[in-house]
Structure 1
Amino acid sequence: MKRLFTVAVLVSMGIMSGCASHHSVDELPPMQAADPSVDDMDLANGMDEPAPVEVDSVASIDNEDLWVRLRAGYGLDLSVENDRIRVQRDWYARHPKYFERVTTRSERYLHYIVEQAEARNMPLELALLPVVESAFDPFAYSHGRAAGPWQFIPSTGDYFGLHRTWWEDQRRDVIKSTNAALDYLQKLANRFDGDWLLALASYNAGGGTVSRAIRKNEEAGKPTDFWSLKLPRETKAYVPKLIAIAQIVQDPDKYDIPLQPIRNEPYFAEVDTGGQIDLAQAAKLADISIEELYLLNPSYNRWATSPDGPHRLLVPADRAERFSLALAELPVDQRMQWARYEIRPGDNLGAIARRNRTTPEVLRSINHLKNNTIIAGRTLLIPGPAAGSDSYTLSADSRLADNQNRQRDGRQKIDHTVRSGDTLWEISRQYKVGVKELARWNNMAPGDKLSIGQTLAVWSKGTGTTTVASRGDNNMVRQVRYSVRNGDSLYAIADRFNVSVNDIRSWNSKVASKRYIQPGQRLTLYVDIRQSY
Structure 2
Amino acid sequence: MPSLCLMLVALASVPSAQEVLPMPPPPPGMRLLDTEDKKLLAGSAAQGEEGTASAPAPAGADAPEGTEPEEANEEVESESAELEELRALEGAALDPGARPNAQVLQSLRRLGIANPLRLRMMDVLEEPTLRDDDTPPELPLIRDLANFDVRQLQDRYDIPVEMQPLVAQYIQFFQGPGRKWFRKWVSRSTRYMPMMQPILEAKGLPRDTVYLAMIESGFSAHAYSWAHAAGPWQFIPSTGREYGLRQDFWVDERRDPVKATHAAANYLKALHKDLGHWYLAWAGYNTGGGRVRRMMDRHGTSNFWELCEEKGFAKETQHYVPKLIAAALISKNPGAFGFREEEFEYEEALAFDEVKLVDAMDLDVIARAAGVSVKDVHDLNPELKRWCTPPASEKSPYLLRLPKGSAEKFAENIKQLAPQERLTFRIHKVRRGDTLSQIAGAYGSAPEAILQFNRLKSARALRINAELAIPVPAGKGGGAALERKVAQARRSGVTALRPEEEIPAGTPRAPVATGPIKTEVIGGRTRVIYGVQEGDSLWAIAQRFNVTVEDLRSWNSLPRRKRGLKVGTVIQVWPGAAPAVVERSGTVVAAREQPAPALAPAPAPAKAGRAAVHTLAAGETLWSVAQRYGVSVEDIKRWNNIKDHRAVPAGKQLTVTAP
Task: Report the alpha carbon displacement of residue 270 of structure 1 after superposing the two structures with TM.
Answer: 2.6
Task: Write the letter of the residue equivalent to 1:488.
Answer: W
* Structure number with bigger Rg: 2
Name the aligned partner's letter for residue 81 of structure 1. Answer: M
* Offset, 1:150: 1.4
**Residues 481 and 115 of structure 1: CA distance in aligned 2, closer, same or farther (over 3 Å):** farther
What per-residue deviation string (whole Å, max 9, x for no partner) do you get for residues 328-350 of structure 1? x3448468414899xxxxx9999
| Stretches of structure 2 lacking an aligned partner (at least 5 in a row) | 1-100, 112-116, 135-155, 428-432, 442-446, 455-464, 496-501, 517-529, 531-542, 557-570, 582-590, 599-626, 636-656
Say yes or no: does 1:76 pair with 2:76.
no
**Contact preservation (8 Å) 1:96, 1:257:** no
Partner of 2:107: 55
1:246 counterpart (328, 334, 346): 328
SS in 1 for 2:355: strand
Q: Which residue number corresponds to residue 488 of structure 1?
A: 555
* Distance in 1 between residues matched to 2:504 and 2:402, nearest whole Å: 39
Secondary structure of the equivalent of 1:494?
Answer: coil
**Secondary structure of the structure 2 residue equivalent to 1:144:** coil
1:388 aligns with 2:485: yes
Tell whether the 8 Å contact from 1:139 to 1:172 is kept in structure 2 after alignment. yes
Distance in 1 (CA, whole Å) between partners of 2:335 and 2:189 is 20
| Partner in structure 2 of residue 412 of structure 1 | none
SS of the residue aligned with 2:406?
A: helix
Aligned length: 382
| Paired residue secondary structure (1:55) | helix
Aligned mates of 1:249, 1:209 — CA distance in 2: 30
Cα-to-partner distance string for 1:469-520 (whole Å, 9 max, x where unaligned) = xxxxxxxx99969535432367764117999998998369xxxxxxxxxxxx
Higher relative contact order (CA 8 A, sep 6+): 1
Alignment match of 1:212 (pick from 289, 294, 313): 294
- Pairing 1:7-406 to 2, within 5 Å after superposition: 52-53=103-104, 55=107, 58=111, 59=117, 63=122, 67-69=129-131, 74-78=157-161, 80-94=162-176, 95-193=178-276, 195-218=277-300, 223-230=301-308, 231-258=313-340, 260=344, 266-308=350-392, 311-327=398-414, 329-331=415-417, 333=419, 336-338=422-424, 353=439, 357=450, 361=467, 387-388=484-485, 391=488
Q: Give 5+ residue unaligned stretches, structure 1.
A: 1-49, 342-346, 368-378, 402-414, 433-463, 465-476, 509-523
In 2: Cα distance, 1:140 partner to 1:335 partner: 34
Q: What pairs with 1:368-447 in structure 2 (closer than 5 Å)?
A: 387-388=484-485, 391=488
How many angstroms apart in 2 are the aligned matches of 1:216 and 1:335? 66
So what's the TM-score if we normalise by structure 1?
0.58
Which digits, 9 at most, give the CA deviation of each residue in 1:3-48, with x for residues without a partner?
A: xxxxxxxxxxxxxxxxxxxxxxxxxxxxxxxxxxxxxxxxxxxxxx
Query: Which whole-Å deviations, capped at 9, do the CAs of 1:428-469 have from their partners, x for residues lacking one?
Result: x9599xxxxxxxxxxxxxxxxxxxxxxxxxxxxxxx9xxxxx
Q: CA deviation at 1:284?
A: 2.2
The Cα of 1:251 is off from its aligned counterpart by 1.2
Residues 197 and 208, structure 2, Cα contact 8 Å, conserved in 1: no
Of 501, 506, 527, 2:596 maps to: 506
Q: Amino acid of the residue matched to residue 291 of structure 1?
A: K
Contact 1:162 1:170 in 2 (8 A): yes
SS at match of 2:384: coil
State the AA in 1 paired with 2:423.
Q
Q: SS of the counterpart of 1:145?
A: coil
CA change 1:390–1:88 in 2 (3 A) is farther
Structure 1 CA distance, aligned partners of 2:515 and 2:416? 52
Structure 1 residues 498, 206: closer, same or farther in 2, change over 3 A? farther
Shift of 1:311: 0.9
**C-alpha distance in 1, partners of 2:580/2:422?**
48
Q: Which amino acid aligns with 2:262?
A: N
489-498 or 94-103: which moved more?
489-498
Q: Secondary structure at the match of 1:75?
A: coil
**Aligned amino acid, residue 233 of structure 1:** K
CA deviations 1:96-132 (Å, max 9, x no partner) are 4432222222343332212211222311122222221
Which deviations, in whole Å up to 9, do the C-alpha atoms of 1:129-185 show, x marking residues without a partner?
A: 222111222222111111112111121122223233333222212222221122111
Paired letter, 1:271: V
CA distance in 2, matches of 1:394, 1:153: 34
Quote the RMSD (CA, aligned, Å). Answer: 5.0
Matches of 2:284 and 2:269 in 1, distance apart?
A: 11
Q: Aligned in 2, Cα 1:319/1:155: closer, same or farther, shift over 3 Å?
A: same
